[in-house]
Amino acid sequence: MGAVLTALLAIGLATGPAVLRDASAEASSTFVTLDERVLTNHVVGPGGKHTLRLPVPARATGVRLSVTGRLAWRPTKVSVCPGGTTTRACLADPAMTTPTRTARNTHVAVDLRGADREVTLHSSAASVSLTVRVVGYDVEGAAPPPTRKPTASPAPTRKPTASPAPTRKPTASPAPTPTRKPTSTPTPTSAPTRKPTASPTPTRSATPTPTPTRGSAARPPAGVPGPDTTGVPAGTRLTVHEGDMRITTPGTVVDGMEIRGIVRVEASNVTIRRSVVSGRPADSSVGLVMMIGDARNLTIEDSELYSKDRSPHVRGVIGHGLTMTRVDVHSVTDQLMLTGGDVLVQDSWLHDNLHWEKDANFGGGPTHDDNVQIAAGSNIRLLRNVLEGTHNAAVMVTQDRGAVRDLQLVGNRIGGGGCSVNLAEKSVGPLAGLVLTDNVFDRTQVHRGCAIIADAGTIPLLQLRGNRWADGVATTVTLRGS
């Protein structure tokens, strides 16, 4: 992982378009958030289909759907096709493959031109229960008033399987071919990542920065982080920005935008609010939001970050000295890569990581995808988040760039990974000042019963209180190598 991070911070930043688009470029279309459920637990049989009429205006050119499939007795491919029928091309590119019995969520962008505001759902091999939510729609030019107010949604359950989760299905799929369902994973070791080097400080330029429209106050957190409590608030109108955005002016506020590229933050005290960052195709390591050089005090709130172009090279947020509140991050390999400390992540939903069984970034082995990866730093707080959907770890402390100290995990819902919390000493030595309090763990680890794994020198230093499995049983710490 060190070489990957080095490439990301040193080489990957120079890839992509030769000229980054000015943040003040005019938008050619507008995305209107709707957030309305249109189908609930409807069973589609094997080889069957179901057509939905969508509550979007006639001039909508595209729609974004959150689709949840569950209770299939065997894996089945679920396709979402424009119009009232299916085509061979659509069925050849399914939105997702559901696992056996458990739920899988994805986010699908569908072109509605010529589709008469309809989409058709198809299941290939087994009966599956489908729930669909309209996240929003695209219109050319200025947005019309919302067609209807979003309906009230129940508070999400402790595992976001009973309500649809807004994960997106990216479009083009670069090699290698991903497999969403992990196979056996080797016993976690203290070296799942390669050692990074320090990033170069980029040359600053007087690139214009966005002049966003400031909106209403952010909504307060309510319930467990999930589709109803994170991301862009329903009804928010987003102005589309095509291409990368480079921010060089301190204090810039980006509000109510959909950025179809990556965001390079090269100034301090920047705020990204009520916005979507969906990335672009990448053939080398990159982050949807990257803090460059001496940038500090980045705030991201009430926003959604995901990679619309499925790639093993795309991460969520990379940097340190940042605060994330009510942020939905999904469809990337790692949601958060911390290169230093002074970090607060709260009331956020990090889920549905991308994974490849053969990933060139890891020597042809499986992707080491994490919700939060911590290479160095102190004063790091992870509070009241939902962390799930990974294959390596939910929280992976590597100490690849230096010591990790004063890390607190409090009140989180945590699942997935080989072991969910992996605390590696490596050559740096024991981790001090780590507090894990009142966290609830789902039993979804590859290694059964492995909520927390640590080395012998670290275990006596851990401050543990009130950590339990979802069934109420107290968790224990696994000694690495035992």
**Do the domain assignments include residue 455?**
yes
Q: What is the CATH number of the domain that holds 104?
A: 2.60.120.260
- Confidence class for position 480, pLDDT limits 50, 70, 90: very high
**Do the domain assignments include residue 7?**
yes
**Do the domain assignments include residue 99?**
yes
Instruction: Please write the tens of the pLDDT for every residue from 316-357.
Output: 999 999 999 999 999 999 999 999 999 999 999 999 999 888
Task: Measure the CA–CA gap between 136 and 275, rounded to whole angstroms.
Answer: 13
Provide the pLDDT for residue 321. Answer: 97
**Do the domain assignments include residue 146?**
no
CA dihedral in degrees (187, 193, 194, 196; nearest 10)?
-160
Provide the pLDDT for residue 128. Answer: 84
Contact indicator for 119, 110 with CB cutoff of 8 Å: yes
Same domain as 395, residue 314: yes
Task: Measure the CA–CA gap between 254 and 274, rounded to whole angstroms.
Answer: 8
Last residue in a domain, options 140, 166, 196: 140
Same domain as 86, residue 8: no
What would the mean pLDDT of 293-302 be, rounded to a whole number?
96
User: Which residues face 413 on adjacent strands?
Assistant: 386, 440
Provide the pLDDT for residue 179. Answer: 39
Same domain as 426, residue 461: yes
pLDDT reading at 453 higher than 90: yes
Same domain as 349, residue 406: yes
Provide the pLDDT for residue 36. Answer: 86
Last residue in a domain, options 93, 111, 140: 140
Query: Strands 271-273 and 253-255: what pairing?
Result: parallel
- Confidence class for position 28, pLDDT limits 50, 70, 90: low
Contact indicator for 210, 256 with CB cutoff of 8 Å: no
Last residue in a domain, options 110, 140, 170: 140
CA 335 to the chain's CA centroid: 5
Lowest mean pLDDT among 38-42, 64-68, 292-296: 38-42
Counts of helices then strands in the chain (DSSP H, E): 2, 37
Residue 452, CB half-sphere, CA atoms under 13 Å: how many?
Answer: 24
* Residue whose entry in the numeric block shows the structure tokens 């069934």: 471
What would the mean pLDDT of 405-429 be, rounded to a whole number?
96
Instruction: Please write the tens of the pLDDT for every residue from 225-269.
Output: 998 899 999 999 999 999 999 999 999 999 999 999 999 999 999
Provide the pLDDT for residue 182. Answer: 38
Same domain as 258, residue 235: yes
**Do the domain assignments include residue 186?**
no
Domain that holds residue 129: 29-140
Provide the pLDDT for residue 34. Answer: 84
**Do the domain assignments include residue 461?**
yes
Contact indicator for 178, 261 with CB cutoff of 8 Å: no
Same domain as 110, residue 50: yes
Lowest mean pLDDT among 155-159, 351-355, 382-386: 155-159
Same domain as 11, residue 77: no
Same domain as 225, residue 262: yes
Here the tokens at position 274 are 């009520």
Contact indicator for 270, 6 with CB cutoff of 8 Å: no
Averaged pLDDT score across all residues of the chain: 81
Q: Which amino acid is at 435?
A: V
Residue with the bigger pLDDT between 219 and 270: it is 270
Total domains present in the chain: 2
**Do the domain assignments include residue 88?**
yes
pLDDT reading at 193 higher than 60: no
**Do the domain assignments include residue 160?**
no
- Closest to 139 (Cα-Cα) out of 23, 36, 58: 58
